[in-house]
Amino acid sequence: MHEHRLVERMLNILNEASRKIAAGSDVDVDLFEKAIDFIKTFADRCHHMKEEGELFPTIEQKGIPKEGGPIGMMLHEHSIGRGYVRGMEEALRRYRAGDKSQAQVLVQNARGYANLLAQHIMKEDNILYPMANRVLNDADRKKLDTRFERIEKKEIGEGVHEKYHHMVEELESGAGIAQE
């Protein structure tokens, strides 16, 4: 849930940047490059991998069904999210190569991602995580903690929370978004 709060701040930044483009501004290429890096590394490789690789399989073993239930839906949404990110990357690449019409495609994908993830996070915070909390015992929590730490070290390296926290603060102040 703690990681969700940082992801939400990045969604705000994406929405604000999209609003500016829709109002006629040029694409802030640097901002979108950073946002894509954040989403791929922090939101997907760090956070979603903990869910997909550890949390979901653990609660599935404890009786929360995968197919036709909230876990299946969350996995499906992770994959739709990856599609939006590919769309953003491709649009940004073409935009940088000179095709200015890609700004609109970028905005569509950025807004699609932000809407999807905002809903996704709400469902996890209010439905799936409370369900998980009910089925996990202290030993399960300890085991998950250890495995989450291993994922962070192995997949993204130490110090990554600090790096992306700092990135969010920098982009918020650049975009004139009030910091929490």
Q: How many residues bind Fe ion (CB under 5 A)?
A: 3
Residue 35 or 46: which CB sits closer to Fe ion?
46
124 touching Fe ion, by CB under 5 A: yes
The 10 Å Cβ neighbour count of residue 173 is 11
DSSP 39-107: IIIIIIIIIIHHIIIIIHHHHHHTT--STTSHHHHHHHHHHHHHHHHHHHHHHHHHHHTT-TTHHHHHH
Near Fe ion in 23-52, by CB under 5 A: 51
CB of 81 to Fe ion, least distance (A): 8
Which range in 25-33, 36-44, 66-74, 130-138 contacts Fe ion by CB under 5 A? 66-74
Rule CB under 5 A: which of 67-86 touch Fe ion? 74
Asked whether 113 and 17 are in contact (CB, 8 A), the reply is no
Residues that bind Fe ion (CB under 5 A): 51, 74, 124
